[in-house]
Structure 1
């Protein structure tokens, strides 16, 4: 009889217990609109002008053509906008705005995909196998996404990304390439009005319209996507997105056709978004991943 067998058995049991405990303690992913501290705890590079940002992009060889060729995106965390993008030459302003916003959109979408992946995993198990924490997590998501049916497949219709090209196009159109007052002062790039439940806001002259304001570009982008994913006026968008995903063809140029209710301009708004996506090749970023290079965090002083 081996003297090592009981010891090996004990080690195996301990390993299983440790692995099970580690799995049980793995935090469930949070929806991006719920994340209050989205940036890594690293040194903040404080800049004062758009010119300084462009210089930093050049120094780190952050070029859009290179991103498209390599499908690799530098890990930039840009918290807010400079107030002088209009001072740049047109080509620098347009490429600079896309470069500063692109990593934020990617980070928000990646977080949504984490939530979606976990939901898909749970949907493939009987609910009796779910932990109490998982049950509470799904219930909270149902409430957050206003899904009253308690049907996880219905929830999955809501919990999904907005293609990068579509987000960029709306950010460009609604913020004037990042130069509007609401974009610079309130990190509000997508024309969101103050929601019924309240929150931070800025007002138009005379105070007739309250525009939602955010602490940073991540929060503003997360809120805009959550708005698209929860507002019933965009039911057509959810259904079209599901169809395009099933065809492995989810892209901004096609999905924007479901945005005629987003603006009073209706179909003219959709046509303009499509023109932006096509002219600036904004759908070319759908498959980029973050590079393994050191993350860079940037904040502008106004």
Structure 2
């Protein structure tokens, strides 16, 4: 269990779902952890077992080898986890967990990039040319990311993606391939403790530790990335990410070097994440695009 804590109150911005905003002020993109309704407004498919999910993947020909070959991942949004992933054969469990989480991670990162690109566009203009809505939007982001300087360059250091391979590796390690109690019951894959300002939570046996809980996997993933991007203990990660981006070499295997403080296991934790990324080729998913032609929503009943 990691010791990463949320430290900032979240200010609700306008709801915004997976689409770029370039015109009306009301469509300025929200940071993903502030989106309360993140999924497409389509019919939800209810499933009751991991075996049903794997069968659905097969029916739609959702295979990791095709995803990497086509550089496209289906918009297959699984809202929560089945409680029986351990009943699957090992290969189906591992590839199934990656497949169910991959589109969500991509969607969260896409949303961060929308915010980042909007910030970069504003940075290129004089502040006198900003609209009132744009000024308020930037101020909200400064508050949310705890940037005291009011400098967009400093904000951009923090408003950036976490590579998919790193997100998947941490989700795998912290949740035991999606089988932990906190993952199944609270959509908490990344070992977050209850934030100081409160919120939904589950407790360890005896109630000694409160673990953050979330409405869905999107919210849990968005919160984890936001915490990495706002917790001062990870300033080394922000600097390394900036350096790797400038070198056009930003990937999970390299960025996890900055995670020795995430877990009490220290460097052993980093080594394990790198082993997961390498063995399961998790960095191969960084250049994927979400297929926008068709979307699927799946929810498990426990």
TM-score bucket (shorter structure): over 0.9
Paired position in structure 1 for 2:232: 232
| Structure 1 residues 143-158: aligned runs within 5 Å | 143-158=143-158
Report deviation, 1:293. 3.3
Paired position in structure 1 for 2:33: 33
Distance in 1 (CA, whole Å) between partners of 2:290 and 2:262 is: 30
Paired position in structure 1 for 2:207: 207
Distance in 2 (CA, whole Å) between partners of 1:199 and 1:146 is: 19
Distance in 1 (CA, whole Å) between partners of 2:287 and 2:26 is: 27
Report deviation, 1:23. 2.4
Report deviation, 1:25. 4.2
Distance in 1 (CA, whole Å) between partners of 2:291 and 2:101 is: 16
Q: Does 1:270 align with 2:270?
A: yes
Distance in 2 (CA, whole Å) between partners of 1:171 and 1:197 is: 24
Distance in 2 (CA, whole Å) between partners of 1:64 and 1:271 is: 24
Q: Is the 8 A contact 2:54 2:96 kept in 1?
A: yes
Distance in 2 (CA, whole Å) between partners of 1:161 and 1:203 is: 29
Structure 1 unaligned spans of 5+ = 1-21
Extract structure 1 runs of 4+ deviating beyond 4 A. none
Alpha-carbon deviations, 1:205-253, whole Å to 9, x = none?
A: 0110000000000000000000000000000000000000011111000
Q: Is the 8 A contact 2:77 2:298 kept in 1?
A: yes
Tell me the secondary structure at the aligned position of residue 257 of structure 1: helix
Larger Rg: 1
Structure 2 unaligned spans of 5+ = 1-21
Give the helix-richer structure, 1 or 2: 1
Report deviation, 1:292. 3.6
Q: Is the 8 A contact 2:25 2:133 kept in 1?
A: no
Distance in 2 (CA, whole Å) between partners of 1:145 and 1:287 is: 26
Paired position in structure 1 for 2:63: 63
Q: TM-score, normalised by structure 2?
A: 0.92
Q: TM-score, normalised by structure 1?
A: 0.92
Tell me the secondary structure at the aligned position of residue 23 of structure 2: helix
Distance in 1 (CA, whole Å) between partners of 2:63 and 2:144 is: 37
Paired position in structure 1 for 2:252: 252
* Equivalenced residues, count: 281
Paired position in structure 2 for 1:286: 286
Tell me the secondary structure at the aligned position of residue 221 of structure 1: helix
The range that moved more, 49-58 or 285-294, is: 285-294
Tell me the secondary structure at the aligned position of residue 39 of structure 2: coil
